[in-house]
Amino acid sequence: MDRKKPTDILEEEHKIIQKVVAAMAVGVEVLETGKDVKADTVRNIVEFMRTFGDKCHHGKEEVYLFPLLGHRGVPMHGCPLAVLIHEHEMGRVLVKELASAGEAYGKKATSAKAALIQSLKGLIKLYPDHIWKENYLLFPMTNKVLSEEDQKDLYEKFEEVERSIGEDTHERFEKMAEKLSLEMQPI
């Protein structure tokens, strides 16, 4: 097959997400030393996680890859799919908490900084493990289970996801991910 495998696309997206997780870690370090970060940078992280992380990336996994694996005999209620779906849900909750903490932090509300640190730490703990499970367990298994035809269909579905979020959205967030660690410097 000349074209990339769907799992290659997802692995590339993981690298982009990891850059944002690294920016979160920089943010925690800055906040824990008593300094401040820009509330706009926190807002950008929230926007990245909602659009790139959830709509684009989790969309490809949850709407297309996981159900297809289910149809090919991988149990939906056991390990690893149910665990991964649960982690996506946890991620959504944490991003929601990050959004509220970030808004409160922007308004200089009392205890907003502690809530901000807590939600960032939750995401920093969740994502690397989640990505590890997908890269080293789910994707090798996916490439054993799916036929060439399945891979081709899935690739086309992934392109549909890209079109549905907007043609240049992926690139915009990829560029944002590059800059977030630098933006997360003390102010």
Note the residues at the interface with Fe ion (CB under 5 A). Answer: 61, 134
User: What letter would DSSP give residue 4?
Assistant: P
Q: Which is nearer to Fe ion, 61 or 183 (CB)?
A: 61
Residue pair 124/23 in contact (Cβ under 8 Å)? The answer is no
For residue 7, the one-letter residue type is: T
Distance CA 106, CA 109 (A): 8
Q: Cβ 75 to Fe ion, closest distance in Å?
A: 17
Residue pair 170/9 in contact (Cβ under 8 Å)? The answer is no
Q: Cβ 10 to Fe ion, closest distance in Å?
A: 5
Q: Which is nearer to Fe ion, 91 or 102 (CB)?
A: 91
For residue 51, the one-letter residue type is: T
Q: Cβ 142 to Fe ion, closest distance in Å?
A: 11
Q: Cβ 169 to Fe ion, closest distance in Å?
A: 17
Distance CA 80, CA 3 (A): 27
